Structure 1
Amino acid sequence: MPRIRLLPEEVHSKIAAGEVVERPASVVKELVENALDAGASRVEVELEEGGLRLIRVSDDGEGMEPEDLRLCWRSHATSKIAGPEDLLRVVTYGFRGEALYSIARVSRLTILSRPRQAGEGYLLRVAFGREEAFRPAASSPGTTVTVEALFRDYPARKAFLKSPRAEAGRALESFRLLALGRPEVRYRFRHDGRETFRWPGGTRRGLLSRLLRVPEEDLLERVYERGAYRLELILTPPERAFSTSRYLFVLVNDRVVRDRSLIAALLEGVRAAFPGGRFPAGALALYVPPHLVDVNVHPAKAEVRFRDEGEVFSFVRSAAERFLSRTVRTPSPPSSGDDLPLSPSPKIFSARAGEEKRSLKVGEDTLPFREPVSRKEGFRFLGLLRDTYALFEVEEGVLFLDFHAAHERLLFEEWRDRGGEAEELLFPAVFELSEEARERLALLGEALEKAGFRVREAGPREIVVEAVPRGGGFPAAEELRGLLEEGISPESFRDKFAARLACRLARKAGERPEPREAEELLRKVREKGLERCPHGRPLFWLVSWHELERRLGRKV
């Protein structure tokens, strides 16, 4: 193992400065990163009172020699870089030499470490920046770091922390993100004596299945390469879309980072299969030679900068497009079925069996026609265009109806005006929420009850949705989770929930409505005087007879 040394001024002056200890979660992150850099195959985290009373991180990694242990908590002490050129090829999680120093200044820090080949370990204790003890001690191979009384002498820092449960939740979220980078490692997390997460080690796909609560076989995995770049995509298919992009995780060289550009490239590549408000979930893992990416642009190493950002964006976008082309299935030909009224059912309808049709070829599209129906409504249905638009002859001319948008607006009107009658879910929905989402949930109590929701807590991060507004089913519970994660106020909850659920339940392009259903859509749209969907898009386009005749050169 490389020896620990104090960095010279010429090196640590080039490292982005910044306080790395903001809350218990940041302590957990730094200590777990050190464990992974030490080659651990097992990492365990224990918290008490949200981490303010105790944080303990244990690993079975390489351990430290006594002289390295005594030096490790000093400012800018690190074994991971030596000269300025090393900053151009960082391959470890940590490298700044700030973490233990910062933690030792604001807590009582105890480190027990034993190298794998050594017969005994050593113990180091530092209390609020002053060394108190350094001696031999019995120890298993590896390192155990205990942090107690965090921020005891810093009341201003403690004032910005949340409740112990909220802080434990943030720490667990940080811990599980680190596990995504190294899923082959065994992980365990406990808070106040209760185990809240355990992972026996395995594949990233398997861990994502666990975190997203999606069957592993429903996660699609592809690998792409271009020159020096390699990309692994593990995503849910369109039929398992989520209502938020929060569950898209970005990794660069196995480091989870925040990178809006990479997310944007991915979403641009798959947008054909994920309409507005719907997103895939999963992981985007990019592997780049160390000299082509700068990980020293953020104090907490949460962001990176690429040498050629345009090339990376292009690579991810094109890979996402290819991923989509291999995973999106062409809808099956429509089968016959009975006439059904407007409803949120996602089934695909077609014209009734035996109904006579004739077709008109227009380019690559076939427009099915049927015999004229009664014109007492002032219109007649002509057929479908590209399985997306219903074509009508109306008194004013020819009307193109976007049947998804029309159905969405009608459902929106229904859900917005519906009372708060609740229905029990046959199988209650269990979701994990971020701490921010849990705080919003607490503020929405009365609004949720009025809408028909019944929600209870099931653990430090889990909620159980037992009842939803009548007719909403499981999609209503999923949309509630999406709104909680993205942000919602009690005043806007009813409208936003109605808009999201309507988009989720409305007929989609490719789900051919039965002719009578298309007629019912137009009749209700005209009856209610509706013109736009909840997102502001037009429901229809009308070409007047006057315009048609003018365009075709007929006498006007």
Structure 2
Amino acid sequence: MAIRRLPETVTHRIAAGEVIERPASVVKELLENSLDAGASRVTVRIVQGGTLSIVVEDDGAGILPEELPLAVERFATSKLFDIDDLERITTLGFRGEALSSIASVSRFEVRSRPASKTEGAFIRVEGGQFIGSGTIETPKGTRVQVDDLFFNLPARRKFLKSSSAEQRRILKVVQEMAIVFPAVSFLFVADGKSVFRWEGGTRREILQAVLGESRLRETRYEKGPVIVEAWRGTARPGQRTEVLSFVNGRRVTEPTIRSALFALGPEIAGDWVILVDCPPADVDVNIHPAKAEVRFRNSGTVFEAVHGAAKAALAFGAELVLEKPQPSEGFSSEGGGLNLPWPRVAAPTEAEVGRLVEYPAGDFPGSAPKTAAVRFLGHVSEGFLVFSEGNDLVLVDPHAAHERILYDRLREAMKNRFPSQRLGMKTELSPSLAAGAEEHRFRLLELGFGFEQKHGLVPSLTAVPFFPGLESVSPEDLLRSTIAALDENPEQPLDIRLARRWASAACHGAMKLGDRVGSEEALALWHQLFETEGPRTCPHGRPTFLRLGGSAIKRHFGRKG
């Protein structure tokens, strides 16, 4: 086949596909332009998840009338002058592709007026083709309107999610910008309803508003020219560790930052916001058209700085202090058991109360004799339970074991209907949680959740599903876990996803690795674990126990037999 040049209309659409993936990409690029222009107030309005219309207005510096045509040309920008500037980028935007890319896949209009002008100007572009321009009365700043996104790329439209799902992505972008620029006011309106409003304030205040956290821990750490600001929120039941990372004000996904954080081990559970500030010459942001990736010149220094900041945040101590009431009747404190305000495992039977219990050997892999004597020996390391079973030594992770037990119980209970329990007090939802609830509203109602929303206000949670074992989970955490399950791989049955998430949420308020338990409770945990369908792992695939065979122990010490 002959090689030929592609038409300009085709090359523009190809370039736009690299920069503009979905409505949230448009909002991100336009917000970056607003913030680079020094805006103190930004408003984002969308219709139908941004597919029908997106409008971003700011009170920034504005664009001169004679420069508006240049603004929608590819590789035209006010932020770079020569190749050396690529080594010291201090703005969010710099490639000169955003407006051109957006205009090539939408019906596009820009209105702008600098403070030095009494009259503004506008330009209209449709599918990359110039439509018209002129003067117009408009406030100081810039207004960009994007209608019928991907109208000329129907294949791209097919890959978009529902309007509520796209709205949630846009909300996330707006909130992330507010985290980096807390002094700027942001308003996000979807289909005529105010979804998120921030009037400006401190970073702590915006993080409290976005994360729904009242208790946040902040640390700062310096390593050479690198300064890291780390914020840690409370570990949320049923949710993985979430990390928002920013480099010089830019939201990025960077493996060095995540590696430095996760190197601290499982105790990092919770929400983290990591803001890295380093010399522009030490970071390369010109890697990806969407500017979502960066490369550090000295990644080792960045690793140490992030690691140090996160370690300092963890050094404050446990995030959640659990009171340990006096033992109640029928449960002895001599073995170290705790009387907790939530169910851990069922009360031991009379046969389990003794320190020696007989079980058929077939129930436990690796057992040689017909009956294996199971004894609870105590705790080791950070709280692993130690048992002897016949000639074998078995270490059990109590948290993983308890999670497996709750998971199986929930799956069994879900075979029937989903009972609902009304809340004694309505729970007002945070904007991000409300957006997730709106996206899955009908499915959540089927699962037993109830909502109430008055005109113009954020919806409140009025009812939740009720299953034994979920008593310790707060309504917000139960809703958050359920939304996470609904967002997961739809090829997996919903009851499995729900049971895994709910069991994890319940276990955050129950037995933990560091807890000390008595013999009776430990043996009850053992018995219930090995009655489950998959005692070897927790619902997430982590091992629940480690078995050291008696013969292997003898071989290690050079003993025969």
Normalising to structure 1: TM-score of the pair?
A: 0.77
Question: Which residue pairs with 1:140 in the alignment?
Answer: 139
Q: Report the Cα offset of residue 185 of structure 1.
A: 0.4
- Using the alignment, how far apart are the partners of 2:17 and 2:313 within structure 1? 39
Which amino acid in the other structure matches residue 545 of structure 2?
L
Change (3 A) 1:87 1:214: same
Asked if 2 retains the 8 angstrom alpha-carbon contact of 1:170 and 1:434, the reply is no
* 1:520 and 2:521 correspond: no
Question: Which residue pairs with 2:515 in the alignment?
Answer: 511
Change (3 A) 1:404 1:242: closer
Superposition pairs for residues 137-536 of structure 1, below 5 Å? 137-215=136-214, 218-238=215-235, 240=236, 243-245=239-241, 247-269=242-264, 271-274=265-268, 279-328=269-318, 336-338=326-328, 373=354, 375=356, 378-379=373-374, 381-386=376-381, 388-392=383-387, 396=391, 400-418=395-413, 419-424=416-421, 426=423, 430=429, 432=432, 445=443, 449=446, 453-454=448-449, 466-471=463-468, 472-473=470-471, 474=474, 476-485=478-487, 487-489=488-490, 491-503=492-504, 504-505=506-507, 506-525=510-529, 531-534=535-538, 535-536=541-542
Which amino acid in the other structure matches residue 510 of structure 1?
G
Bigger mean CA offset, 224-233 vs 184-193:
184-193
Change (3 A) 1:424 1:289: same
Asked if 1 retains the 8 angstrom alpha-carbon contact of 2:224 and 2:301, the reply is no
Change (3 A) 1:128 1:552: closer
Asked if 1 retains the 8 angstrom alpha-carbon contact of 2:482 and 2:501, the reply is no
Question: Which residue pairs with 2:543 in the alignment?
Answer: 537
Q: Report the Cα offset of residue 234 of structure 1.
A: 0.8
Question: Which residue pairs with 1:13 in the alignment?
Answer: none
- Using the alignment, how far apart are the partners of 2:220 and 2:178 within structure 1? 20
Question: Which residue pairs with 1:37 in the alignment?
Answer: 36
Change (3 A) 1:54 1:523: closer
Superposition pairs for residues 47-58 of structure 1, below 5 Å? 47-58=46-57
Question: Which string of whole-angstrom CA distances, capped at 9 and with x for unpartnered residues, describes residues 114-143 of structure 1?
Answer: 222333323333444444444333232212
Q: Report the Cα offset of residue 400 of structure 1.
A: 4.4
- Using the alignment, how far apart are the partners of 1:162 and 1:525 within structure 2? 40
Q: Report the Cα offset of residue 424 of structure 1.
A: 1.2
Asked if 1 retains the 8 angstrom alpha-carbon contact of 2:408 and 2:533, the reply is no
Which amino acid in the other structure matches residue 523 of structure 2?
E
Which amino acid in the other structure matches residue 222 of structure 1?
T
Asked if 2 retains the 8 angstrom alpha-carbon contact of 1:185 and 1:200, the reply is yes
Identity level (%):
35
- Using the alignment, how far apart are the partners of 1:83 and 1:71 within structure 2? 17
Asked if 1 retains the 8 angstrom alpha-carbon contact of 2:482 and 2:502, the reply is no
Bigger mean CA offset, 331-340 vs 488-497:
331-340
Question: Which string of whole-angstrom CA distances, capped at 9 and with x for unpartnered residues, describes residues 135-171 of structure 1?
Answer: 3332322122223344444444444434444433333
Question: Which residue pairs with 1:10 in the alignment?
Answer: none
- Using the alignment, how far apart are the partners of 2:320 and 2:51 within structure 1? 54
RMSD (CA atoms): 4.0
- Using the alignment, how far apart are the partners of 1:547 and 1:43 within structure 2? 67
- Using the alignment, how far apart are the partners of 1:83 and 1:331 within structure 2? 56
- Using the alignment, how far apart are the partners of 1:501 and 1:332 within structure 2? 20
- Using the alignment, how far apart are the partners of 1:99 and 1:551 within structure 2? 65
- Using the alignment, how far apart are the partners of 1:293 and 1:206 within structure 2? 29
- Using the alignment, how far apart are the partners of 2:274 and 2:139 within structure 1? 37
Matched residue count: 503
Asked if 2 retains the 8 angstrom alpha-carbon contact of 1:387 and 1:512, the reply is no
- Using the alignment, how far apart are the partners of 1:420 and 1:348 within structure 2? 22
Q: Report the Cα offset of residue 81 of structure 1.
A: 0.2
Which amino acid in the other structure matches residue 138 of structure 1?
E
Asked if 2 retains the 8 angstrom alpha-carbon contact of 1:44 and 1:59, the reply is yes
Q: Which runs of 5+ in 1 are unaligned?
A: 1-15, 350-371
Superposition pairs for residues 77-96 of structure 1, below 5 Å? 77-96=76-95
- Using the alignment, how far apart are the partners of 2:70 and 2:533 within structure 1? 75
- Using the alignment, how far apart are the partners of 2:278 and 2:216 within structure 1? 24
- Using the alignment, how far apart are the partners of 1:344 and 1:490 within structure 2? 41
Q: Report the Cα offset of residue 552 of structure 1.
A: 8.1
Change (3 A) 1:209 1:129: same
- Using the alignment, how far apart are the partners of 1:528 and 1:170 within structure 2? 39
Superposition pairs for residues 68-79 of structure 1, below 5 Å? 68-79=67-78
- Using the alignment, how far apart are the partners of 1:334 and 1:161 within structure 2? 50
Which amino acid in the other structure matches residue 492 of structure 1?
P
Question: Which residue pairs with 1:367 in the alignment?
Answer: none
Q: Report the Cα offset of residue 214 of structure 1.
A: 1.7
- Using the alignment, how far apart are the partners of 1:20 and 1:329 within structure 2? 40
Change (3 A) 1:347 1:267: farther
- Using the alignment, how far apart are the partners of 1:493 and 1:414 within structure 2? 15
Q: Report the Cα offset of residue 453 of structure 1.
A: 4.0
Which amino acid in the other structure matches residue 273 of structure 1?
E
Change (3 A) 1:231 1:536: closer
